[in-house]
A and B are shown apart, each in its own frame.
Chain A
Amino acid sequence: MSLDKATVAKIAHLARIKVPDDELEDLAGDLSRILSFVEQLNEVDTKDVAPMTSVAAQKLRRRKDEVTDGGYRDAVLSNGPETAEGFYVVPKVVE
Chain B
Amino acid sequence: MAELTRLTMAQALDGLSKKDFTAVELTEAHVGAMEAVRPLNAYITETPDQALEMARASDARRAKGEAGPMDGLPIAVKDLFCTKGVATTAASRILEGFVPPYESTVTANLWRDGAVMLGKVNLDEFAMGSANITSHHGEVVSPWSPGAPGSWSRRIVPGGSSGGSAAVVAARAALGATGTDTGGSIRQPAGYTGIVGIKPTYGRCSRWGVVAYASSLDQAGPMTRTVEDAAIMLRSMCGFDPKDSTSVDMAVPDFRAALTGDIRGLRVGIPREYRVDGMPAEIEALWSRGVEWLKAAGAEPVEISLPHTKYALAAYYIVAPAEASSNLARYDGVRFGRRVEGGSLNELYENTRGEGFGKEVQRRILIGTYVLSAGYYDAYYLKAQKVRTRIKQDFDEAFRSCDVILTPTAPSTPFAIGDNSDDPVQMYLNDVFTVPVNLAGLPGMSVPAGLGGDGLPLGLQLIGRPFDEETLLRVGQAIETAANFTATPPFMA
Contacts and interface: CB of A to CB of B under 8 A. Distances in A.
Given A35-B367, A91-B342, A41 B384 contact: yes
Contacts of A43: 311
B315 A41 contact: yes
Nearest to B467: A56
Which bucket holds chain B's interface residue count?
A: 35 or more
A16 B349 contact: yes
A6 interface: no
B99 interface: yes
A50 B342 CA distance: 44
B400 interface: no
B483 interface: no
B415 interface: no
A78 B315 contact: no
27 contacts: A11-B366, A11-B370, A15-B366, A16-B349, A18-B351, A18-B354, A19-B354, A31-B363, A33-B423, A34-B317, A34-B424, A37-B425, A38-B380, A40-B310, A41-B315, A46-B390, A51-B382, A51-B385, A51-B389, A52-B386, A55-B439, A56-B248, A56-B441, A60-B245, A61-B242, A79-B335, A90-B334
Nearest to A80: B335
Interface string A31-70: 1011101111111101001111111111011010000000
A64 B263 CA distance: 46
Contacts of B369: 11, 14-15
B334 A91 contact: no
B389 A31 contact: no
Contact of A72 (B101, B367, B383, B424): B101
Interface of B: 97-99, 101-102, 201-203, 216, 242, 245-246, 248-249, 308, 310-311, 313-315, 317-318, 325, 332-339, 341-351, 353-355, 357, 362-363, 365-367, 369-370, 373, 380, 382-390, 392, 423-425, 428, 439-441, 466
A89 B97 CA distance: 17
Interface on chain B toward A: helix, strand, loop, or mixed SS? helix
Contacts, number: 165
Contact of B390 (A19, A42, A44): A44
A19 B318 contact: no
Interface on chain A toward B: helix, strand, loop, or mixed SS? loop
Contact of A16 (B350, B367, B392): B350
A17 interface: yes
Central interface residue in A51, A63, A76, by most chain B CB within 10 Å: A51
A35 B314 CA distance: 9
Contacts of A75: 101-102
Given A17-B365, A18-B353, A81-B337, A50 B386 contact: yes
A82 B202 contact: no
A27 B363 contact: yes
A8 to B, nearest CB: 7
A30 interface: yes
Contact of A34 (B203, B245, B363, B386): B363
A21 B384 CA distance: 31
A55 B353 contact: no
